Amino acid sequence: MKDIVVFGTGPVAELAAFYFREDAGRRVAAFTVDAAYATAATFAGLPLVPFEAIEARFPPASHDVFVALAYTQLNRLRRAKVEEAKARGYGIAHYVSRRATRFSTFEEAENQFILEDNTIQPFARVGRNVTLWSGNHIGHHSTIAEDVFIASHVVVSGGVTVGARSFIGVNVTIRDHVTIGADCVIGAGALVLRDIPDGSVLAPGGTEVSRVPSHRLKRI
């Protein structure tokens, strides 16, 4: 099994390296970013090398790449770096937690990042370059298209379709057989009961701060 070079120097990259080492038993050899952002020689105790020059030290014959970016540009940047690494001959790693529940119908795919406590029911499909943060429910016969980012504690009911490049925030609930179009942003806590078209934004309001300060509350 090849060593891994992780693209990124943010919290997602540091977490990815941790999960690969601690749960998947894979060796992370280095981190990489575009040269303009390689402002140090190391990151998280490992070499940090410019992406433009990784072949010299970490060639594709002995290394895979994992792109550990969040949902910047609605996941397009993550996908672009995956495609660039592939074009340069690298295999693309993926991570599926051993603490995630999935069945024989599940197919792993390149650059998936599926964390602990996800439940992926039978006949659900999860595409390439999808991030499922911890604690989600992906219902039976649902389809998560490529390049999607789903935050934590999201309920995707049965027969749902989530379109490519969409972002689903924490604690979202999606009713069964709903289709969410491509390039959608679904804000934290949204309840989605009907189909929504491509490019939609759902932004539920946050809880307002009470005008009564905490020290004036009774029985607290």
The tens-digit pLDDT sequence of the chain (220 residues) is 999 999 999 999 999 999 999 999 999 999 999 999 999 999 999 999 999 999 999 999 999 999 999 999 999 999 999 999 999 999 999 999 999 999 999 999 999 999 999 999 999 999 999 999 999 999 999 999 999 999 999 999 999 999 999 999 999 999 999 999 999 999 999 999 999 999 999 999 989 999 999 988 987 7
Average pLDDT in the chain: 97
How far is 209 from 220, CA to CA, in rounded Å? 17
DSSP lists the bridge partners of residue 19 as none
- Domains along the sequence of the chain with CATH: 3-93 (3.40.50.20), 94-200 (2.160.10.10)
Instruction: Indicate the helix (H) or strand (E) that contains 11.
Output: helix 11-22
pTM over 0.75: yes
Residues 6+ apart with CB under 8 A from 160: 139, 142, 143, 174, 175, 176, 177, 178, 179, 180
Please give the order of strands across the beta sheet that includes 167-168.
95-96, 113-114, 131-132, 149-150, 167-168, 185-186, 201-202
> Residue 52, SS3?
helix
Backbone angles phi, psi at 42, to 5 degrees: -140, 160
